[in-house]
Structure 1
């Protein structure tokens, strides 16, 4: 069953990357087989939810949208209790507000996307202590074929997350050694905007310091200070619990960058083996700072710049097979 769900997830991801929606795939195969073609408004909404719901790494968006399109009115705390019981999670109102931000398009950062998906702003309305579907969105759902496409996305997300029910999660829903994109991390940490484009090296989100590391950055001559114009940072596991990390070049121990790094209440490490693996990172767990040493490194103009050699201690030893895989 799990293998089947993984296959479905991979299929969905490939379809969305190429066609953005399953509807567009069907249209490309045989447009005449589609009984009632979607209009531009319906297709725009479907495209957005295909991205947000089908690829979601948590069930709360799917469950929220599921109840909105089928029940029209939701009691927020009842919904949270149902989700936490069903998936063995610890979601609270912060998570629900984050899910609302995703469903209504407020998570979007660029003005171009905001203009494109402006209709989403009125999908869900706040009425006293309840959440209700808007009349505009209710009218769109009268196209039963459109509603079926939305329901399919919801069902895929729900089944995918049910398969992870018994895996150990932290309070934000992260699972050790699962793969997450930068956008996933933004959403899981209840960040109000999609800051994925700025999340390189280190980023603090809601008091969570996150480090993103590409383990094997490029092929180059041993000892080369620069590979493809970028610093050859010495980021690697020394053993199953010790990770050596370099700060961004130009940032010494007293820099604003390092103060942001050290001030996070929880610190998380995300690693991918190489750029060839795509955009997703393995979640390696939380860590504490063992030591910070200020030193220098030449930039690509040969000028010495401050940098920090940082020793991290993982709070949980890295699994042997994952450790060996990264070292290869």
Structure 2
């Protein structure tokens, strides 16, 4: 490539981002001057019918009783991998889920070489025809195994017989094209979405007599189980809520005839892994390197969003500002410097408006990048033309308060952010860019980062939150919101998170916040008037039963706020591991009665038991997710 000087270089690769952790200068994008003629990933390939449909089954791996004869932990773990009970479990599942075609032609991916050999031997002892391949085997040995796997029964000779399975570690991930493969079994933890797709892809080639491929993934208690839905969905945002949504909805996001199914135990293992995603900073850094290689320049936050890389909110949660991340990532190579005031403004904007739950603040900032002042009336007209809806002056004033550093939860936060000095509004209802802020915008890097926040926020709003009937509610059904978001959307003027617990009345609206599975086991079942009773649960997809706080009978101000509110909203999250709540919609109270319940000191106190009827049936997959048990 250094020698030839053609008019066009055309390169084709399946793994352009494979070696982002390597220090060597192996940036494929750079070789081709960062020009990408065409790119296709799994989802699009399925949509265009270029691949064979697949039926993926996430199956719980067998939990084996501790081996007391093992000399050490490594030997004990290995003995579990090759024990007769696990072999029986694998065979039972492989026969149950089957394959497409006259006979099985399968690949089995293992964790280690010795596991390959031992499992292959045990399968052979049970009548299967298998071999184990590793990097130690010659190309001739491998090719012979591939040909035997592809053979039909009638093609066998005395010396060469067909294979049912090839056991492998490492070597079959890429560069192998056995189109006849109709079953893929994964017996190793998923450490990388790239490797997962490579292994799944061994079965996605089309072949005569093969209608689909069966993928069996044996899922154990691995920290990286969250990589499985990341790989299947193709969504590299690493936003825990997005990953959960994919596991919940599954087949809704797979094109064509392919299906995805997790058994309940396997699904809970994945949810458990999602709740405790580890190594997120390492994931962010790998994503950054990949994106930088692709673009040929330092990425902006919006580049992460538009290229479906790590969610900007995930980056900000770890580093507070993108500037802080770039300092950490580039170190001495990042020459741009910001003042403490500039850093403070970026931190506040990242914290309050980057999520894009509403556009008001973002649009005001956008306008004031290019002009010193604008009247509220002019802003209202611009807003109405762009969003086809009116915005009242009190809503504009609330947005201005946010941009003046007032959207905080406590005095300490207020003292920190009150000096951001970005905008002011005089008695003539004219929104003005503060001169000091205007001077800061002359710093190219600072201005660029402000523009970046605005761009990401508006994109998120248009993609996630714009389709809502704001006459009824500013919230989008089944999207996730924090208590902070509720404070913002209800124009509270400040963050009420610290006082917004199980119930909060805001003017004409009441908000109920429920954690479906409480942390303490004794909270899962309530005893009311000495009788067991389940509370805070969906009876079905329309009826929800909710208990008030202990001590709040029907005559309490607390309950009167709930009962008399014209609009009642329900927000639910499955467990405390989730930071945000699903918006389940509005509801009516169809029954309420008073009972008694013991408080923490064992004293009986009044409690109100409410039966609510949702205005919209709760989506079935989300309901199943809420109701499934947590291990």
Normalising by structure 2, we get a TM-score of 0.48
Q: Note the aligned Cα RMSD (angstroms).
A: 2.6
Corresponding residue pairs, total: 322
Contact 1:190 1:206 in 2 (8 A): no
Match of 1:18 among 310, 314, 318: 318
Choose from 506, 509, 516 the match for 1:215. 516
**Residue 182 of structure 1 aligns with which residue?**
483
Measure, in 2, the Cα distance between the counterparts of 1:266 and 1:223: 28
Change (3 A) 1:31 1:89: farther
Greater RCO (CA < 8 Å, at least 6 residues apart): 1
* SS of alignment partner, residue 259 of structure 1: helix
Report how far residue 167 of structure 1 moved. 2.4
Shift of 1:216: 1.2
Range 19-28 or range 165-174, more displaced: 165-174
Q: Is contact 2:406–2:418 with CA below 8 Å preserved after alignment?
A: no
Aligned equivalents of 2:466 and 2:352: distance in 1? Answer: 23
Find the partner of 1:114 among 414, 426, 432: 414
Cα deviations by residue, 1:174-219 (Å, 9 ceiling, x for unpaired): 1000000000000001112211011110001132100000111136
Q: Structure 1 residue 243: deviation in Å?
A: 0.9
Task: Determine the structure 2 residue equivalent to 1:161.
Answer: 461
Against the structure 1 CA distance between its residues 3 and 87, is the aligned structure 2 distance closer, same or farther, given a 3 Å change threshold? farther
**Residue 202 in 1 paired to residue 500 in 2?**
no
Deviation at 1:297, TM superposition (A): 0.5
2:552 pairs with 1:246 = no
Normalized per residue, the structure richer in strand is 1
Shifted more, 170-179 versus 149-158: the winner is 170-179
2:374 to 74, 79, 93: 74
Structure-1 separation of matches of 2:465 and 2:601: 51
CA–CA separation in structure 2 for the residues paired with 1:86 and 1:156: 17
Deviation, 1:139, is 1.4
Deviations 1:273-317 (CA, angstroms, capped at 9, x unpaired): 1112x2110111111111110000011221111001011111222
Deviation at 1:62, TM superposition (A): 0.9
2:585 alignment partner, one of 266, 282, 285 = 285
SS class of match (1:323): helix
- Equivalent positions of 1:30-179 (< 5 A) are 30-87=330-387, 89-121=389-421, 123-126=423-426, 128-164=428-464, 167-171=467-471, 172-179=473-480
Q: How far 1:220 sits from its partner (Å)?
A: 2.2
1:203-239: CA deviations, max 9, x gaps? Answer: 011321000001111362697549xxxxx97101112
Give, in whole Å, the separation in 1 of the partners of 2:390 and 2:517: 35
Answer yes or no: is 1:273 the counterpart of 2:273. Answer: no
Larger deviation: 147-156 or 111-120?
111-120
Q: Distance in 2 between matches of 1:3 and 1:98?
A: 35
Change (3 A) 1:118 1:54: same
Q: Secondary structure at the match of 1:97?
A: helix
Contact 2:355–2:460 under 8 Å retained in 1:
no
- The alignment partner of 1:46 has SS state of helix
Pair member with larger Rg: 2
Aligned to 1:300: 600
CA contact (8 A) 1:189 1:206 kept: no
Cα distance in 2 between the residues matched to 1:213 and 1:266: 17
Q: 1:167 to 1:83 in 2, by over 3 A?
A: same
Q: What CA distance in whole angstroms lies between the structure 1 residues aligned with 2:319 and 2:371?
A: 30
The question of whether the paired residues in 1 share the 8 Å contact of 2:356 and 2:458 is answered with no
Contact 1:87 1:161 (8 Å CA) reproduced: no
After TM superposition, the structure 1 stretch with the greater mean CA deviation from structure 2, 34-43 or 184-193, is 34-43
Q: With structure 1 as the length reference, what TM-score do the two structures score? A: 0.89
Give the gaps of 5 or more residues in structure 1.
227-231
**What is the alpha-carbon distance in structure 2 between the residues aligned to residue 318 and residue 291 of structure 1?**
19
For each residue in 1:8-55, what CA deviation from the matched residue of structure 2 results, as whole angstroms up to 9, or x when unmatched? 395211211111000000101223333330011111111111111212
Q: 1:216 to 1:107 in 2, by over 3 A?
A: same
Which has the larger displacement, 63-72 or 127-136? Answer: 127-136
Q: Deviations for 1:104-142, whole angstroms, at most 9, x for unmatched residues?
A: 112224222222112235523336232111112111212
For residues 137 and 60 of structure 1, the distance between their equivalents in structure 2, rounded to whole angstroms, comes to 19
Label 1:247 to 1:25 Cα distance change in 2 as closer, same or farther (>3 A). Answer: same
Query: Structure 1 residues 223 and 324 mapped into 2: Cα distance closer, same or farther (>3 Å)?
Result: closer
CA contact (8 A) 1:215 1:272 kept: yes
- Partners of 2:606 and 2:320 lie apart in 1 by 44
CA gap of 1:223–1:288, structure 2 versus 1, over 3 A, is: closer
Range 141-150 or range 112-121, more displaced: 112-121
In 2, Cα distance between equivalents of 1:42 and 1:223: 47
Q: Does 1:264 align with 2:565?
A: yes
Asked if the contact 2:517/2:524 (under 8 Å) is kept, the reply is no
In the alignment, is the contact (CA less than 8 A) between 1:88 and 1:166 conserved in 2? Answer: no
Alignment check: 8 A CA contact 1:89 1:169 kept: no
Larger CA deviation: 287-296 vs 70-79:
70-79
For residue 585 of structure 2, give the secondary structure of its aligned residue in structure 1: strand
Closer, same or farther in 2 for the Cα pair 1:81/1:4, shift >3 Å? farther
